[in-house]
Structure 1
Amino acid sequence: MSARKLVPEQGGDPFRHASSAGIIEGLRMKTESFDYIVVGAGSAGCVVANRLSTDPSVRVCLIEAGGSDNSLRIKVPAGILSLYGNPDYDYCFVGVPQPKLNNRRIPVNRGKALGGSSSINSMVYIRGAAEDYDEWAGLGCAGWAYYDVLPVFRKLERNLIAQDPRYHGTDGELLVDNPRDPNVLSGMFVKAGKNAGLPANKDFNAESQFGLGIYNVTQDRGQRFSSFSAFMRPVLDRKNLTLLSECEVIDLVIAEGRATGMRVRHEGQQKLLSASREIVLSAGAINSPEILMASGIGPANELQQIGITPVLDLPGVGKNLQDHVDGMITVRSRSTRTLGLSIANLPRIAAAPLQYFARRKGMLTTNYVEAGGFAKTRHANGPPDIQFHFVPGYRSHRGRLIEYGHGYAIHTCVLRPKSVGEIRLSRDSSRRDVLIDHRFFANEEDAMVLVEGIKIARKILAASEFDEVRGKEMLPGKDIGTDGEILAYLRAEALTVYHPVGTCKMGTDDMAVVDPATLKVRGVDGLRVADASVMPKLIGGNTNAPSMMIGQKASEMILDSAHRGGK
């Protein structure tokens, strides 16, 4: 297996995308030099930058396109409602029309701030099933089986709730805790699981995912604890570590088959950053392939069609996109025990800031998806194939961010979708317009799994535990009952839970982008990818913790290579 060769006439020109006038200006561009450059201060990148900068003799630069995370919107868990769709913190991507979802364009929220998506996510700490990682190993990714990655998860974790030490660590930087003040309905949801044959599960990261429970969260005394909080903020005083926020990568510099640097926009000007050892792309499953393609690394025919001169024909870049497609049940309720905006609830709302800042209790501690779990539909062949995220508040049936009134909702997602999409660049002068095509329901089995998942979610909500707060099902609605009707509803309303992966996958086949043993980009020296984009298959769960694990594995690979004298 080998990538197609570099195009020689493009190899040494760092300004290959510029006009003649731009080349002259580029020669006067300010240059800054480092040993390592890590792109993306998100879940994986913060781990990589932390580990590489432990050696005071090397200069490490961490780049983040977003800005500061120093905002109560980020720090206070309930502030998540003000982050999605907010261009100050979210890339606000929108996918291309989806033929199997009534040609709707699906929002793709991705974090754009220090901490990346770990600064705007729901803080749920889930690793995925053991079978997920064993499947990776079976696909040719040696060293990535469950018992290879379990010690890495344990190494990163500082578990605050005395969970089983066979599965959990206590010496790492990442704090894992219980929610401070979960809503009473979240407990109802867990108890109601027996109506659908789902037991209570106190630890989804131990022996089995199966069942319902209150999710563990990455929080510090009720405050969001992002990857940046865990791995970067404590080491920002390292003299060999440079952090450049609000710094956008334009493209990579490829010289004689090696990534030697990159052009960036920072502080209103273009700069050239050079890397004497390595560049690590940890920009996520959308932006890592985008940077590669903007630099001429990707499917050569497609790049030529949009006016980019190929530097390396690597057909897998941007392919293999996988994500968790999601359907919702939302119920109106009169009960003020649920979260909600109402006159009756004004006293609780007014008291919430004092409760939070004095004792870290009350409504502002909620991450909204406090409880959830995993179940098997009749299509499952192995581990659970659906995941629930329970919201003890009303989710708008009109798609509004905030809806007046009370209620509760269950999100149900397909854990191991068979539908595979791709990411491309459009033909625009900036080379920044990303076309995200999930191809949701392209494989009809995904649709059938989600239909069954909605039916199981309804069984949970039908349990007697919900009698005291029962209300009207607004979506799908009581008249939507047959499989065909539920499927039609999903085509009209299904979205995603924002777990894109796979677009720079590791493996040994012709579509692999990185080597599983090194995470090096095939055919280019000095360039690695370390984020969710390297996953060959989507894991069964939330992707924040697995991305950190990938960052840790990558840093160990890089440090081992440096120790052995590799570059």
Structure 2
Amino acid sequence: MMAKHSTAIAAFFSLLVISLFNLFTEASPRFITPSKLIEQREVEAEYDYVIVGGGTAGLTVADRLTESGNFTVLVIEYGDFDNSSSIFSVVGGGQGLSNRTRLFSFPSVRQPGLNNITEQIVIGKILGGSSACNAMLFLRGQIEDYDGWASFWGGTSTWDWKGILPYFKKASTLTPPPDSLAQEFNIKYDKSFWGDTGTRIFATFPTFQWPQLKTNMNAFRDIAGITYPPDAGSGLPGVFWFPSSVNPVTITRSFARTGHWDGIARSNYHTITGSKVFKVLFEGDTASGVQYVPSTARSAITQNTKTVKARREIILSTGTIHSPQILQASGIGPKDLLGSADITVKVDLPGVGQNLQDHLYTFSQTHTFEKFDVHPNLDDMTSNATFAAAAQQLFEQDRSGPLGIGAGNAAAYLPFPVVAPDAFSKIAAAYEQADPAAHLPSNTHATIIAGYKAQQAAHAAILRSNGSASYNSVFKGGRTEGSTLHLHPVSRGSVNIDPKAPIFAEPIVDYRALSNPIDLDIMIELFKFTRRYFAVPSLAAFSPRETNPGPSVDTDAKIGNWLRGVVRPSAFHPVGTCAMLPKELGGVVDAELFVHGVKGLRVVDASVMPMLPGAYTQQSTYAIAEKAADLIKARQ
């Protein structure tokens, strides 16, 4: 029986992402009636607002600006409108990343700190953006993360926890777990941390959980200092259950398009797809319009170049990778870089494209439970000769059952003093006392160094705090577990135009992963904590065994060498390249998200986050967009 269970669970987790992607074919029914998608010939000469990018943030802002009917909005999206049924599938979680037609995908520069690998930059290229192809984990960071954002403004910013919490509430609608499931698995939630606005972005707890997750979650009680917050959205670190971006009625993906575009029939809300904005136009110091071409174009061919003007504002929402590229191509950025690309400098703004951050992660440190039992439906499913057919049948019979889980909904978000009680103070002190320029490129501008010095103080506080999360692991309830994320990396990278082809080549992305050696010190401690967790008494009955790298990797030096070969520099959560910071700290936008040095131009997307939150970035991006919409409307 145990062998049968082992075979079943191994087959399930190895084939889930790959095999099930083909379950939802183009012949399947369409789920959604689309909103107003106009042809190029229908684009008006001028709108009140032009939003560049129809992704997570862009569509949220567009919806909010058009709901009164008083203002006109054009959304220009590079990707296509894709209404095929596979985009709505929740089976396999991150399987949306498997369809490269919906994604930008190009390599970073080589990463010396990670044995010279390149990382594939993967971001959404579709109406709905990355929310249309992510793993649907719906999480917010800790109170101290957002208070940290506000701290850079000397106490005058409303981007602290108190100021952003109303927008977390506004951004989504919570669907709690069934009472019986909540009681059985001790799933805590508190509706006071969520809104009740009827927003069509859904935060949904599944109606099924794998039985092993009860053991996984309870085992943390064996470790001193670990807490269980009252809700995943409480802003507190610890061990908790969290919702996914899933429509609770249809059990389909909930994303920016379904929440802020589908079914919205407004004559003042226009959208075009398949169009690349390559330049912001100015009248004096005021952004007045944009130029764009078909997304298939490889040059600004005169007959294909179109211009549309904005009476009020241009809003860039093309994300952490492409928003800085558009700014730099428009003459806003580091003057030396712009000069090398023969671009006339509009504003010498050194921070544009700098301050790149992403969560470092590895799935390679794995532990397997030698004694393990699984839900009987897995045996039923995998004993069938045709795995995919059996999986589809099971999903259609019970869309909220085992295959309706977008991703694991059980996680640990833990403070560094809990993870590394004997090392956290020494590591924090070493990081805090280092020269802020020591691990930045030699030509780094003085304002960027000043901004990094300010971030050093904030990061050191995080490393010493029991109120911030540095370690993350998400559990699937399977026989083998192995995810670890470093939530607050201290190395900084960049996104810059290619001087040889600044507009139509993809930008040059350098994560500079582990360029600050403190990151490796931290990851070694995260590695050792994972070992400590699997050795707790509560898990002993399941005979956990480290299957990779194995007990022979037993010193910090060996662990560090192993990590350099398996850590990835991106968990698909890039932020920071248009940072919301004062200009003297290397900032790109101010606290109202206006670009420093010009008028009528804002950036509204994940690139404005000055530092990564201690969580995945989707929910924070929605909250930023909701708050930005109110800031924009306050000027109307």
Q: Give the TM-score normalised by structure 2.
A: 0.76
Q: What residue is the counterpart of 1:513 in the other structure?
A: 588
Q: What residue is the counterpart of 2:438 in the other structure?
A: none
> Kindly tell me: are residues 164 and 87 of structure 1, through their superposed partners in 2, closer, same or farther at Cα, counting changes over 3 Å?
same
> Offset of 1:359 from its aligned partner?
2.5
Among candidates 362, 366, 377, match of residue 330 of structure 1: 366
Q: What residue is the counterpart of 2:159 in the other structure?
A: 144
Q: What residue is the counterpart of 2:604 in the other structure?
A: 530
Q: What residue is the counterpart of 1:263 in the other structure?
A: 291
> Kindly tell me: are residues 298 and 340 of structure 1, through their superposed partners in 2, closer, same or farther at Cα, counting changes over 3 Å?
farther
Among candidates 538, 541, 549, match of residue 615 of structure 2: 541
Q: What residue is the counterpart of 1:224 in the other structure?
A: 253
Among candidates 18, 23, 33, match of residue 46 of structure 2: 33
What amino acid is the match of 2:610? Answer: P
Structure 2 residues not aligned, in runs of 5+? 1-40, 178-188, 297-303, 425-462
Among candidates 488, 491, 497, match of residue 416 of structure 1: 488
Contact 1:340–1:407 (CA under 8 A) maintained in structure 2: no
Contact 2:381–2:394 (CA under 8 A) maintained in structure 1: no
> Offset of 1:282 from its aligned partner?
1.1
Q: Output one character per residue of 1:206-245: Cα deviation in whole Å (capped at 9) or x when no partner.
A: 15222x233211211232111222222242x111111112
What amino acid is the match of 2:624? Answer: I
CA distance in 1, matches of 2:192, 2:221: 28
> Offset of 1:34 from its aligned partner?
1.5
What amino acid is the match of 1:415? Answer: L
Q: What residue is the counterpart of 1:73 in the other structure?
A: 86
Contact 2:358–2:573 (CA under 8 A) maintained in structure 1: yes
> Offset of 1:87 from its aligned partner?
2.4
CA distance in 1, matches of 2:326, 2:393: 45
Q: Secondary structure at the match of 2:520?
A: helix
CA distance in 2, matches of 1:339, 1:531: 44
Q: What residue is the counterpart of 1:355 in the other structure?
A: 394
Structure 1 residues not aligned, in runs of 5+? 1-27, 394-405, 563-567
CA distance in 2, matches of 1:463, 1:249: 54
What amino acid is the match of 1:389? Answer: S
Count of residues in correspondence between the two structures: 520
CA distance in 2, matches of 1:73, 1:556: 34
Among candidates 431, 455, 470, match of residue 386 of structure 1: 470
Among candidates 467, 487, 490, match of residue 560 of structure 2: 487
Q: What residue is the counterpart of 2:202 in the other structure?
A: 175
Q: What residue is the counterpart of 1:285 in the other structure?
A: 320
CA distance in 2, matches of 1:207, 1:302: 39
Matched, 1:311 2:383: no
Contact 2:535–2:544 (CA under 8 A) maintained in structure 1: no
Q: What residue is the counterpart of 2:403 in the other structure?
A: 364
Q: Secondary structure at the match of 1:88?
A: helix
CA distance in 2, matches of 1:554, 1:68: 25
What amino acid is the match of 1:513? Answer: V
CA distance in 2, matches of 1:167, 1:276: 38
> Kindly tell me: are residues 202 and 216 of structure 1, through their superposed partners in 2, closer, same or farther at Cα, counting changes over 3 Å?
farther
Q: Give the TM-score normalised by structure 1.
A: 0.85
What amino acid is the match of 1:370? Answer: N
More moved, 162-171 vs 42-51: 162-171
Matched, 1:184 2:259: no
Among candidates 153, 166, 177, match of residue 168 of structure 2: 153
Q: Which has the higher helix share?
A: 2
> Kindly tell me: are residues 538 and 172 of structure 1, through their superposed partners in 2, closer, same or farther at Cα, counting changes over 3 Å?
farther
CA distance in 2, matches of 1:253, 1:355: 54
Mapping for residues 35-114 of structure 1, pairs under 5 Å: 35-84=48-97, 86-114=99-127
> Offset of 1:356 from its aligned partner?
2.1
Q: What residue is the counterpart of 2:192 in the other structure?
A: 166
Contact 2:334–2:350 (CA under 8 A) maintained in structure 1: yes
CA distance in 2, matches of 1:105, 1:279: 34
Q: Secondary structure at the match of 1:264?
A: strand
Contact 1:352–1:363 (CA under 8 A) maintained in structure 2: no
> Offset of 1:336 from its aligned partner?
7.6
Matched, 1:477 2:550: yes
Matched, 1:501 2:575: yes
Q: What residue is the counterpart of 2:180 in the other structure?
A: none
> Kindly tell me: are residues 63 and 445 of structure 1, through their superposed partners in 2, closer, same or farther at Cα, counting changes over 3 Å?
same
> Kindly tell me: are residues 389 and 164 of structure 1, through their superposed partners in 2, closer, same or farther at Cα, counting changes over 3 Å?
same
> Kindly tell me: are residues 86 and 352 of structure 1, through their superposed partners in 2, closer, same or farther at Cα, counting changes over 3 Å?
closer
> Offset of 1:430 from its aligned partner?
5.4
Among candidates 215, 218, 227, match of residue 242 of structure 2: 215
> Offset of 1:30 from its aligned partner?
8.6
> Kindly tell me: are residues 295 and 542 of structure 1, through their superposed partners in 2, closer, same or farther at Cα, counting changes over 3 Å?
same
Q: Output one character per residue of 1:23-69: Cα deviation in whole Å (capped at 9) or x when no partner.
A: xxxxx999732211112222211110011111323211112212234
CA distance in 1, matches of 2:567, 2:579: 26
> Kindly tell me: are residues 414 and 479 of structure 1, through their superposed partners in 2, closer, same or farther at Cα, counting changes over 3 Å?
same
> Offset of 1:363 from its aligned partner?
4.1
> Offset of 1:285 from its aligned partner?
0.9
Matched, 1:252 2:280: yes
Contact 1:41–1:64 (CA under 8 A) maintained in structure 2: yes
Contact 1:388–1:413 (CA under 8 A) maintained in structure 2: yes
Q: Secondary structure at the match of 2:635?
A: helix
Q: What residue is the counterpart of 2:498 in the other structure?
A: 426
